[in-house]
A and B are shown apart, each in its own frame.
Chain A
Amino acid sequence: MFINRDVAVRDMESILMAAIWFWIPLILVPIGAWLNLSGRSKKGGAALALICFGLVLISSWTVPSSDSTAAGHLLLSILAPSLLMAYGVHGMVFGGNVPVGKLDSSARWSGFLALVISLTIFCLMHWYTLTPLWRNNEVNPYWIVFWPTFLLFATSLCSASALALVGFGDDRLAEAIKLAGLSVVMAGIALSGMLFDGYLTTAEEFSDYIWLSAADIIGTVVGATLAIAAFAIVIWSYEKSLPPPMNSLPPTKDEIKHVVAIAKSHIGGEDE
């Protein structure tokens, strides 16, 4: 009886700790971002979102007993290559021919280099010792969720972008071929994952997760689309239920006089 009570108290404590150090900060990140973007509390919102995001990142140390914190650990592990990728993309875009915020033309090459290095780091995280390790030196369970999803979605988006560029752009075939090439590279990395074992994950496991990632991507996109459709139906049905707006009364003579006076004061100019 006492043992059961102790176990229950310990369970409650671990749930409470997980709520305080992981779940509440996770919920507060979008709320902080919303406060920042809506302009209600720009600095406060940004500070709240950043602090809470930091708490989520370090949650595998603050609440090591919670399994959910593996996601925070993964986000921390991929933060550096992701920031490098963002830096690379920024340099490549703004080192080119842009009307505002143009960087030095060398930024294009340094950006490209940063992008290649970040992709190489991601590959090394799969095939070399950089794999994110979690409890008992085992591979982080969410790494094998993140990696195939990233590869599949990047392949898919690059392919769609290439077609959009050649379809909607004017004489953009050369650029579209380069984008299609990037899509093929991403598909090639995914294919290599299916054929060659990683440092801590086998090719078979990766193949299984390709299926699960495809299911994940399609499910997420369909679910979000359904939510947007439900939102549109709610707004549409409410707007439809509103009575048509009343016609306003024609202006009185005094109002017309006032308008004419304003108009006259703005027409004409000084004689030359």
Chain B
Amino acid sequence: MREPNASWKLITLAAILPVLVLITINLSIGDGYHPESFKRFGNALLTSYVLMGVILLGNLFFYADSRHRPLAPLVGMLVAIGIGVLISWALVSNDDLLLEANSGLRAQMLSNIVHLLVSIAAMLLAALLAIGATFAMITGRGRRVLFEEEE
């Protein structure tokens, strides 16, 4: 079997590099670093952590079915999500750390969820395009003859 030429590190680099190039071009033609970027990064990180945690908590019910319904993992995951919610609450309500153009904590939290919904829709559509194009390339080539039949 042929050894693969690419590693996961190289593929991750290939994924990050175009974004870095676009950001660099943006930096060179624009006004520079956008001051709200860190807030957006923090809000996106905490919101996706909490929502992904809730989805995984739902998955724990499948896991519990095969393990006589233990409570410990459920409590553990609830604590992990609770920590995320607490950090979000602390950082949003503390001065100007993560509060964007919203009136308060509740508005910021709801805005984060809606924002994540839109971002995930964009990412899913981009994934559909990229994965679909990859499979279209793979299936586009005709079947190769591996063995010639003997005459």
Tell me the A residues contacting B by CB distance below 8 Å.
26, 30, 34, 38, 67-68, 70-71, 74-75, 78, 82, 85-86, 88-90, 92-94, 96-98, 108, 111, 115, 142, 145-147, 149-170, 172, 175-176, 178-179, 182-183, 187, 190-191, 194-195, 204, 207-208, 210-224, 226-228, 230-231, 233-235, 237-238, 241
Contacts of B145 in A (CB 8 A): none
Contacts of A217 in B (CB 8 A): 19, 44, 119, 123
Contacts of B40 in A (CB 8 A): 212, 215-216, 219
Q: Interface size on B (CB < 8 Å)?
A: 84
Q: Which of A157, A170, A190 contacts B130 (CB 8 A)?
A: A157
A144–B37 alpha-carbon span in the complex (Å): 15
User: A26, A94, A145: which has the most chain B beta carbons within 10 Å?
Assistant: A145
B136 lies within 8 A of A167 (CB): no
Decide if the interface of chain B is mainly helix, strand, loop or mixed.
helix
Q: Which of B14, B22, B73, B84 contacts A163 (CB 8 A)?
A: B14
Count CB-based A-B contacts (< 8 Å).
266
A211 lies within 8 A of B77 (CB): no
B15 lies within 8 A of A149 (CB): no
Contacts of A169 in B (CB 8 A): 138
Contacts of B12 in A (CB 8 A): 160
Taking CB atoms and an 8 Å cut-off, the chain B residues in 124-151 that contact chain A are: 125-143
The 6 closest A-B pairs by CB, nearest first: A167-B6, A219-B44, A89-B132, A96-B139, A223-B48, A157-B130
A205–B15 alpha-carbon span in the complex (Å): 25
B46 lies within 8 A of A165 (CB): no
Contacts of B127 in A (CB 8 A): 153, 157
B 23-52 to A, binary, CB cutoff 8 A, 1 in contact else 0: 101100111011011101111111111101
B128 lies within 8 A of A89 (CB): yes
